[in-house]
Amino acid sequence: MTGVDQYTRQVNFEPPRSFGTILKSRIKETFFPDDPFSQLKKEPLPRRTIKTIQYFIPICEWLPKYHLGLFKYDLLAGITIASLAIPQGISYANLAQLPPIIGLYSSFVPPLVYAVFGSSKNLAVGTVAACSLLIAETIGEKVSPTENLQLYVNLVYTATLFSGLLQIVLGILRLGILVDFLSHSTITGFMGGTALIICLQQMKGMLGLKHFTHKTSVVAVIKSIFHNRREWRWECFVIGIIFLTFLQFTRYVKKKKPKLFWVSAIAPMVVVLTGCLFAYFAHAERHGIATVGDLRKGINKLSINRLNFDSEYLSAPIKAGLITALIALAEGIAIGRSFAIVKNEQTDGNKEMIAFGMMNIIGSITSCYLTTGPFSKTAINFNAGCKTPMANVVQSMCMLLVLLFLAPLFSYTPQVALSAIIISAMLGLIEYEKAYHLFKTDKFDFVICMSAFLGVSFISMDMGLMISVGLALIRAMLYIARPATCKLGNIPDSNLYRDIEQYPVATATPGMLVLQLGSPIYFANGTYVKERILRWVRDEHDVSKSSHNDIEYILLELGGVTSIDITGVESLFEVRRALEAQGIKMILVNPRLDVMEKLMVTKFVDKIGRNSIFLSIDDAISACRFTLKSSKQEVEGERLEDV
Amino acid sequence: MTGVDQYTRQVNFEPPRSFGTILKSRIKETFFPDDPFSQLKKEPLPRRTIKTIQYFIPICEWLPKYHLGLFKYDLLAGITIASLAIPQGISYANLAQLPPIIGLYSSFVPPLVYAVFGSSKNLAVGTVAACSLLIAETIGEKVSPTENLQLYVNLVYTATLFSGLLQIVLGILRLGILVDFLSHSTITGFMGGTALIICLQQMKGMLGLKHFTHKTSVVAVIKSIFHNRREWRWECFVIGIIFLTFLQFTRYVKKKKPKLFWVSAIAPMVVVLTGCLFAYFAHAERHGIATVGDLRKGINKLSINRLNFDSEYLSAPIKAGLITALIALAEGIAIGRSFAIVKNEQTDGNKEMIAFGMMNIIGSITSCYLTTGPFSKTAINFNAGCKTPMANVVQSMCMLLVLLFLAPLFSYTPQVALSAIIISAMLGLIEYEKAYHLFKTDKFDFVICMSAFLGVSFISMDMGLMISVGLALIRAMLYIARPATCKLGNIPDSNLYRDIEQYPVATATPGMLVLQLGSPIYFANGTYVKERILRWVRDEHDVSKSSHNDIEYILLELGGVTSIDITGVESLFEVRRALEAQGIKMILVNPRLDVMEKLMVTKFVDKIGRNSIFLSIDDAISACRFTLKSSKQEVEGERLEDV
């Protein structure tokens, strides 16, 4: 491969693509990274229309192919998740300071909507703890649910509407990209912090307290627990511990024997039913064990007239709506994706957003509050063998039956049973092992995770989330502001050039300095890249001064530079000017398509000359050596004289 | 080079460096990219102490070596910039709605301070138009300078103090990085918009108007010009046009013959003196030509007792201080850097920040307002042949003489002369050619530039700046959220692998898909990278289905991936899982040091096996081919049967 003819291999100096072409491909990569319509291109028009409808309303795709064989699985899965939906619905409504019936309503309408618009086959729709608490925190600041429940509930519906609207807008604008900015580390910390607070708050139910704080910081909650010491009821606590032990045991069973997942799936229902029976027969109220109370028969009422856009309160539902919308999306989409990967299916994040948005908009006018795809429910749905979104329809039908006939039964559910169910669910969300893993593997990710955890625990949920996302963004900014550069050396007996720090065996070529740049070069790092290159040259000079070996060429390996903007090109111009002043020639190696186009259009290529751009380091070095040879020989001569 | 022994070349699986080492090198790259102390390491302690003092107080370095030969140059340069400082000082103070004497004060103290702490040899200190206007806009919103001048001036001093404090803090924290986020495009647009507004505002002076708006939007200013049509004075306008023509002519002379730069440098002074003489002898006031008025002899008074921290007004000086501090830094540092590059010297942005900060803090307590290194003055200083910051000392001494003896003379300066000087200076800042260049070369940079220009012109200066920086940041985010990937093919007769789109001659290897990833992989783009890889595989499948050529290996070229975080590693895990489900093996090629360490520590390397990581694509393909061979032969056989 080595030889003189080698550096005749041509770099592509094709004129740049038109602006339109570039813009189109950029927009496609940014907003349609999954290329959803690629399959449509080849089809004839009528078929394409059907496919497009099927794309936007997935039920049109799967329902015609549906058959009894599939329904068998979906029926079982649907009943299982419904049995979880009842206790969870009541519990989380409790957490959101809402009347328990709204929790049941929220498992009836939204699953039906999702079945129509949703694209994930495994997702089970339901309410989630973190968002429920966040709603209570944000709206509770404005209106106390104990003082004016009617207004509070209205504002929660309004917040749900805003969530839905935001989700649908994000989906239509294909801004799924926003969810990408919630990193795993942030979510781990946020979930952990939320779970901790929720667990502590459940001490109200576990200890049978009547007065309790509405604040969510750990300090306030612990203070409140001990402040109301006189209200502690040991009866409550004993029952709570029994329930909790039972629930944790079923989780343990599931962990040991994954086939017995249904044991943990129906356990909350068992707890609720046992609690109801116990409360009914033992007249629990008389012993200070509070029950849920007031669950009337009947399905969701329309709540469109309850939406409240009064400017006095509007800020609270907007804030709650926007934050919970993003968290709900992050949870729902991430979960949909993970299970899709297991089954080797695709999910379209932007389509899911539209489905979630529809779900919450319709939910907000039918007495439901925020729903998404909660992790626990989806996992159970998946394990129960669901095949299509029909499982959600089954869930919905079960809830319909409950609402029509059985709801009053559940009014006997003791609060302590709900607290035990919530604590048991939350304990699984404090992933201390994952945090330790982060600590071991990436300290900065650990800091991001802990900032979310501590922020949520000690300040507030939204502040914790924002601090963590802010830190993650700062880190991202640092990545782009300080891209790694390294000096390359030749790996002996090969034409490979690798980082000298990573491969100490690699040797530098005399008279030349080979630098590898990485990441895009643009305004945020142009100055840095420029100064870093000049510093490499200075360092090299310091070393070479002693060894009579001056740098004559600088080779910049641009293979890792994915794009460059005007400020970046100007930095390269400045580098070139500075190097020229020192009598050093600048050579570019392997610029990529986007970079090459920008260098052509800014006349940089004309300035440094086409013969200063090479396809590979090897080519460039051979060419440089060829011209170096004469001057090298002189230097060699001098050195001999010195000796 | 090709052969079986080739793929025995080892990838470096050294255990990762310790967290401390990595952290130290990261911090160094982030905050000390110019490695300021590298030269100190080798020195003995006493010498190191001296060097450190010299580093922080640069005058200790250059003054002992100073001699008469250098002073000759600095004297000339100093006198030249002083002759510019007088008219500019008065004009810009006028723009900032301040008494003109404050403009002269601001060219006396700050240059002295800069001479002590500044590291740039070319920078000339003075006030700048954009910041002057911004101060007037922001503080004028709170307190009208016409109604309560005393309070207004106090708040300007306070804003200057905040600017200085912010600059010094940024310098100490080595956050020069913040200035990097003001891109060239933003600055071009911002300067252009500011210049446009300032020019329009000068119509007040040019037309001799008595009433005028304090707003800065183009619409408001134009409205104001025509609203006060009755106040227009043709005498004023004629004189203004004569001055402006003269000034523009001297600029033209300078452009044609750069050696005659002094003509344009002293032109403003000539205009002022001519104006003064004319006003004095022609009793200009009687003809409706306003003069500056009230310039008393005497040097700066202390203004420490005038700083106002009243919470009622505090928000205005804080806002004005912070925004102008950043703009002043961006301008001053960028200019220092550009001239340093021409002379092949280094400037330390963070040290400059401290110098600017000292300058403004001391300025704020000695009746000065915001100063920085303005472009025009610095260019003239450079052209006049300045050698050290002593030129600033000379400027300062000239101003001292003016303040002590000549100030009252300048009270005859007609406003229209100042307006002509400002317009002439501003016309040079509307760089429509640069905007056109941006349009031709980078549409998005053009949008960023125009958003600053239009935002400043039609909304307000700070909003325009923020919109533009916001857009630039969104662009940066998109860069990192959607890093380019490409499919590589083999360039015939070589072992090079290049982008197939860029080099259509490159051919894919049967049974393998080689992808090049670029930029860091982490939370913001992990999902995208994963889905993009899987989409490449799908596309490949669609093509290969017809040609009976299934993909068995995916090679990921990671040379361009500068770093990876936990979310990124998890994405790779997920890619691997998805590929395995399709029976495709994942191979990594040439991971860089940081990436390799993260892959080792997260056990990813153990998962995919060390023999799945190669140093070059060539090695990987040879190795894959070796194991492919058997299955290939079967396929070949089948294909023959098909035929």
- Least confident stretch, A303-307, A430-434, B477-481: B477-481
Nearest by CB to residue A563, choosing from B183, B346, B479, is B479
The pLDDT value given to residue B321? 93
Locate the chain B residue with the closest alpha carbon to A575.
Answer: B341
Structure confidence at residue A52 as a pLDDT band (50, 70, 90): confident
Cβ atoms of residues B231 and B203 within 8 Å: no
User: Does residue A635 have a pLDDT over 60?
Assistant: no
**Residue B476 contacts A where some CB pair is shorter than 8 Å:** yes
Cβ of B532 within 8 Å of Cβ of A33? The answer is yes
B380-396 pLDDT per residue, tens: 888 888 889 999 999 99
**Residue A178 contacts B where some CB pair is shorter than 8 Å:** no
**Residue B606 contacts A where some CB pair is shorter than 8 Å:** no
A497-537 pLDDT per residue, tens: 998 888 888 888 888 899 998 778 888 888 888 888 988 88
Average pLDDT over residues B532-547: 78
Residue intervals of chain A classified under CATH 3.30.750.24 are 4-16+483-642
Cβ of A518 within 8 Å of Cβ of B562? The answer is yes
Cβ of A502 within 8 Å of Cβ of B477? The answer is no
What secondary structure does DSSP assign to A173-195, as a single string?
TT-THHHHTS-HHHHHHHHHHHH
B256-284 pLDDT per residue, tens: 888 887 888 888 889 989 998 988 888 87
Q: Say which DSSP state B553 is in.
A: E
Mean pLDDT of chain B: 85
Cβ of B185 within 8 Å of Cβ of A30? The answer is no
The pLDDT value given to residue B1? 39
Nearest by CB to residue A524, choosing from B180, B440, B539, is B180
Cβ of A438 within 8 Å of Cβ of B593? The answer is no
Cβ atoms of residues B565 and A445 within 8 Å: yes
Nearest by CB to residue B441, choosing from A491, A531, A598, is A598
Chain A segment 293-312 residues within 8 A of B by beta carbon are none
B482-642: CATH class = alpha beta
CA distance A586 to chain B (A): 16
For chains A and B, CB pairs below 8 A equal 254
For A4-16+483-642, CATH number out of 3.80.30.10, 3.40.50.10440, 3.30.750.24, 3.40.50.720 equals 3.30.750.24
B12-69 pLDDT per residue, tens: 777 777 778 877 877 777 777 666 666 666 677 888 888 888 888 888 888 999 999 8
What secondary structure does DSSP assign to A539-604, as a single string?
HHHHHHHHTT----EEEEEEEE---B-HHHHHHHHHHHHHHHHTT-EEEEE---HHHHHHHHHTTH
- Please state, in angstroms and as integers, the Cα–Cα distance from residue B99 to each residue in B89, B191, B210, following that order: 10, 24, 17
User: Does residue A7 have a pLDDT over 50?
Assistant: no
**Residue A592 contacts B where some CB pair is shorter than 8 Å:** yes
B72-125 pLDDT per residue, tens: 889 988 998 888 888 889 989 988 999 999 999 999 999 999 999 988 888 999
Q: Say which DSSP state B15 is in.
A: P
Cβ atoms of residues A592 and A562 within 8 Å: yes
Say how many residues make up chain A: 643
Cβ atoms of residues B59 and A508 within 8 Å: no
**Residue A455 contacts B where some CB pair is shorter than 8 Å:** no
Q: Which of B542, B592, B615 should be substituted to probe chain A, the one whose Cβ sees the most A Cβ atoms within 10 Å?
A: B592
Average pLDDT over residues B493-502: 87
B415 Cβ neighbours under 8 A, 6+ residues apart: B94, B204, B205, B208, B289, B290, B291, B292
User: Does residue B643 have a pLDDT over 50?
Assistant: no
Question: Which of B336, B360, B362 lies closest to B348, judged by CA?
Answer: B336
Residue intervals of chain B classified under CATH 3.30.750.24 are 482-642
Structure confidence at residue A628 as a pLDDT band (50, 70, 90): low
From chain A, the residues in CB contact with B2 under 8 A are 1
Average pLDDT over residues A332-353: 75
Cβ of B593 within 8 Å of Cβ of A499? The answer is yes
A456-503 pLDDT per residue, tens: 899 888 888 889 988 988 888 777 788 888 899 998 888 889 988 888
The pLDDT value given to residue A139? 93
Determine which helix (DSSP H) or strand (DSSP E) holds A51, and give its type and residue range.
helix A45-56
The pLDDT value given to residue A244? 93
- Least confident stretch, A12-16, A193-197, B101-105, B306-310: A12-16
The pLDDT value given to residue B636? 52
Cβ atoms of residues B165 and B226 within 8 Å: no
Say how many residues make up chain B: 643
Exposure of B259 by Cβ count < 10 A (0-12 exposed, 13-18 middle, 19+ buried)? Answer: exposed
Q: Which of A519, A543, A556, A595 should be substituted to probe chain B, the one whose Cβ sees the most B Cβ atoms within 10 Å?
A: A519
Nearest by CB to residue B30, choosing from A29, A34, A482, is A482
Instruction: Give, in degrees to the nearest 5, the angle at Cα B154 between B152 and B156.
Output: 70
**Dist. CA B463–CA B453, nearest whole Å:** 11
The pLDDT value given to residue B7? 42
Cβ of B34 within 8 Å of Cβ of A184? The answer is no
User: Does residue A95 have a pLDDT over 60?
Assistant: yes
The pLDDT value given to residue B3? 40
| This prediction's pTM | 0.76
Rg (CA), chain B: 32
User: Does residue B640 have a pLDDT over 60?
Assistant: no
Cβ of B581 within 8 Å of Cβ of A344? The answer is yes
User: Does residue A632 have a pLDDT over 60?
Assistant: no
Instruction: Give, in degrees to the nearest 5, the angle at Cα A471 between A466 and A475.
Output: 145
Strand, helix or coil at B516? strand
Structure confidence at residue B6 as a pLDDT band (50, 70, 90): very low
* Beta strand pairing call for A497-499 and A512-518: unpaired
Locate the chain A residue with the closest alpha carbon to B346.
Answer: A531
A541-562 pLDDT per residue, tens: 777 666 656 788 999 999 888 8
**Residue B1 contacts A where some CB pair is shorter than 8 Å:** yes
The pLDDT value given to residue B160? 95
Q: Say which DSSP state B405 is in.
A: I
